[in-house]
C-alpha cells in the first residue's frame, strides 16, 4: 500500500474512534501505533521500523520538518481532508537515547468542539449563566478532559452579541465568528505578548488556552478586573488546587478574590450506555475556601453517588472519580 494511503487509513481509524492523538513509538521489535481516546491509550497497529520511518518521514515532509533529523525535537503542522472533513494536525517528533525517532500527531477537528455530552445537564446551565458576567473563570482537569471544548461551547452562546478573542497554543477549534490568535514564541508572540495586543482590540471575552506563567496570570487577572470575561485553563489536581496554583504564579490572594468569578474541575467519564460525558466540580464566587488539603468539594462525592444510584456510572468509575 502506498505511503499516503496507509497514512490516511491510520488517521481515519483514529478519527472513527474520536482520538485526540496518534503515537508512533519504537519497541524492541519495531514500532507500535497507539491512539489516545477519552483519557486512555489503545493499540492501533504494529509495524516494522522501516515502514514506520517511511510514514514518519512522509508526515514530516508534509509538515515542513527536517526529514533527515531523527534526534532533535521538531514541531510541525499539516492539514488533511478525509471524507470531506478537514483535520488540522499538529506534529511533534523527537529521538530517544538510541536515536530511535518517536512522533505524535495531535488531531484538531475543524469547525466543531467535539460535541460535549454533560453527565449532569444542570451543571452546564450553571456555567452558561456565568457567561453574562465579567471576571475570571478557570477550568482544570486532566489532559483530554475537554476543557477547551467546554470553554468554546459556553462562549458560543455569545456569538453575534459580544466580541470574542481566543489566544491558544495551538488553536484547537476553528470558530469563524471568534478572533483567534495563535502563540508563536520564536516570533515573540507568547501568551503574554498576545494578551497585551488583545487588550488593545477591546474584546468583551477572552479565551486563553492556558495560564502557564506569572506574566500571563498577571495580565489575565488585570483583564478580568478591567471588565472583561476571561476563560482559561490551569494545571491543578482539583478545584481547590486552582487558587494555590495562581498564588505560586505570583497572584496576590486579595487581588484574585476580586478577579475570580468561578473555578471548575472537570473529568470526561465513561457512561454505562457506552458514551462519554463531562462531570464538573464547580465553585462560584464568593465562596469560602476551606483550610484543607482536600482538592475537591464535598458536593463532588455526592454528585458521583447520585449518578451511581441513577445507573449512569458503574462502581469502578465512581470509585476512581472519588479517589481524585
Which pLDDT score is estimated for 110? 63
Residue 115 is predicted with a pLDDT of 61
Burial degree of 161 (CB within 10 A; 0-12, 13-18, 19+): exposed
Cα–Cα dist 223/217, whole Å: 10
Domain extent listing, the chain: 3-109, 121-323
CA-to-CA distance for 171 and 37, rounded, in angstroms? 20
pLDDT tens for each residue of 231-267? 999 999 999 999 999 999 999 999 999 999 999 999 9
In order along its 324 residues, the chain shows pLDDT tens digits of: 689 999 999 999 999 888 889 999 999 999 999 998 866 789 999 999 999 999 999 999 999 999 999 889 898 888 888 887 788 888 999 999 998 999 999 888 765 555 678 999 999 999 999 999 999 999 999 987 889 999 999 999 998 889 999 999 878 788 889 999 988 877 778 888 999 999 999 999 999 999 999 999 999 999 999 999 999 999 999 999 999 999 999 999 999 999 999 999 999 999 999 888 999 999 999 877 766 678 999 999 999 999 999 999 999 999 999 886
pLDDT at 20: 84
Q: One fold for both 3-109 and 121-323?
A: no
Is the pTM above the cut of 0.75?
yes
208 vs 191: CA distance, rounded Å: 8
pLDDT tens by residue, 91-133:
999 999 998 999 999 888 765 555 678 999 999 999 999 999 9
Containing H/E element for 153? Answer: helix 147-155
Rg of the chain in Å (alpha carbons): 21
- Name the residue with cell 525517532: 101
List CB contacts of 87: < 8 A, sequence separation 6 or more.
11, 15, 79, 80, 81, 107, 108, 109, 110
* Distance of alpha carbon 84 from alpha carbon 260, whole angstroms: 42
What was the pLDDT predicted at 39? Answer: 62
Residue 43 is predicted with a pLDDT of 94
Domain 3-109 falls under CATH 3.30.450.90 = yes
Q: State residue 114's pLDDT score.
A: 55
What's the pLDDT at 292?
66
- Collapse the DSSP code of 22 into the 3-class scheme (helix H, G, I; strand E, B; otherwise coil) and give the result: strand
- Fold for domain 121-323? Rossmann fold (3.40.50)
Amino acid at each position: 500500500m502506498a505511503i499516503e494511503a496507509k497514512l490516511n487509513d491510520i488517521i481515519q481509524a483514529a478519527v472513527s474512534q474520536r482520538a485526540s492523538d496518534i503515537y508512533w513509538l519504537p519497541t524492541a521489535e519495531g514500532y507500535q501505533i497507539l491512539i489516545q481516546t477519552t483519557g486512555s491509550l489503545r493499540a492501533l497497529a504494529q509495524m516494522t521500523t522501516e515502514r514506520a520511518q517511511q510514514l514518519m518521514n512522509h508526515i514530516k515532509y508534509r509538515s515542513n520538518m527536517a526529514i533527515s533529523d531523527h534526534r532533535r525535537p521538531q514541531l510541525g503542522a499539516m492539514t488533511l481532508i478525509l471524507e470531506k472533513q478537514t483535520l488540522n494536525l499538529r506534529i511533534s517528533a523527537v529521538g530517544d537515547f538510541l536515536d530511535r525517532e518517536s512522533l505524535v500527531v495531535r488531531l484538531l477537528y475543524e469547525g466543531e468542539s467535539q460535541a460535549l455530552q454533560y453527565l449532569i445537564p444542570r451543571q452546564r446551565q450553571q456555567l452558561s449563566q456565568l457567561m453574562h458576567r465579567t471576571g475570571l473563570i478557570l477550568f482544570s482537569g486532566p489532559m483530554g478532559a475537554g476543557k477547551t471544548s467546554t470553554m468554546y461551547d459556553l462562549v458560543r452562546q455569545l456569538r453575534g452579541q459580544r466580541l470574542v478573542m481566543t489566544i491558544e497554543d495551538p488553536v484547537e477549534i476553528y470558530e469563524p465568528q471568534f478572533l483567534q490568535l495563535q502563540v508563536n514564541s520564536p516570533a515573540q508572540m507568547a501568551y503574554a505578548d498576545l494578551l497585551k495586543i488583545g487588550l488593545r482590540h477591546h474584546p468583551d471575552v477572552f479565551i486563553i488556552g492556558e495560564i502557564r506563567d506569572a506574566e500571563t496570570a498577571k495580565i489575565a487577572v488585570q483583564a478580568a478586573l478591567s471588565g472583561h470575561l476571561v476563560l482559561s485553563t490551569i494545571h491543578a489536581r482539583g478545584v481547590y488546587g486552582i487558587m494555590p496554583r495562581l498564588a505560586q504564579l505570583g497572584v496576590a490572594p486579595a487581588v484574585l478574590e476580586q478577579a475570580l468569578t468561578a473555578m471548575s474541575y472537570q473529568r470526561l467519564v465513561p457512561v454505562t450506555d457506552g458514551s462519554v460525558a463531562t462531570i464538573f466540580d464547580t465553585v462560584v464566587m464568593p465562596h469560602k475556601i476551606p483550610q484543607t488539603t482536600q482538592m475537591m468539594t464535598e458536593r463532588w462525592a455526592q454528585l458521583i453517588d447520585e449518578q451511581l444510584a441513577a445507573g449512569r456510572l458503574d462502581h469502578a468509575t465512581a470509585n476512581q472519580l472519588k479517589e481524585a
